[in-house]
Amino acid sequence: MKKFLKSFIYSFNGLSYAFRTQLSFRVHCLAAVLVVLLGLYFKLNSYEWLWIAIAIAVVVILELVNTAIEILVDLVSPEQNPKAGAIKDVASAAVLIGGLMALVIGLIIFVPKLI
């Protein structure tokens, strides 16, 4: 049980590291807070909250995986390497696609409420 509980500490250490070192992670967290506040203001229904929660989770998860990949690439290839750069670019592209999808979900939910 002690080992299990300690795993949560490691997870929170990872969240803390990402928040302290990654500007894009902080921006996505701020965006998530703003979207939640907007959702409370517009009194979203449970289906809308479900889509918002999924969108936020996908972006945060992708951002964390991207950060982990960047750290690993820097560790194994500290010098300039085209393949290392491509790995980072592809991981970053995954975050971009997730973010764009979250934006589309947000627009579908919030634009009708603003019109």
Catalytic residues: 63
Question: Is 48 assigned to a binding site?
Answer: no
pLDDT, residue 51, reads 98
Residue 1 has pLDDT above 90, yes or no: no
In this prediction, residues 107-111 reach a mean pLDDT of 97
Q: What is the pLDDT of residues 35-79, one digit of tens each?
A: 999 999 999 999 999 999 999 999 999 999 999 999 999 999 989
HEC readout, the chain: CHHHHHHHHHHHHHHHHHHHHCHHHHHHHHHHHHHHHHHHHHCCCHHHHHHHHHHHHHHHHHHHHHHHHHHHHHHHCCCCCHHHHHHHHHHHHHHHHHHHHHHHHHHHHHHHHHC
Per-residue pLDDT band for 3 (boundaries 50, 70, 90) equals: confident
pLDDT, residue 100, reads 98
What domains are there in the chain, each with its CATH number?
16-114 (1.10.287.3610)
The pTM (predicted TM-score) of the whole model is 0.91
Question: Is 16 assigned to a binding site?
Answer: no
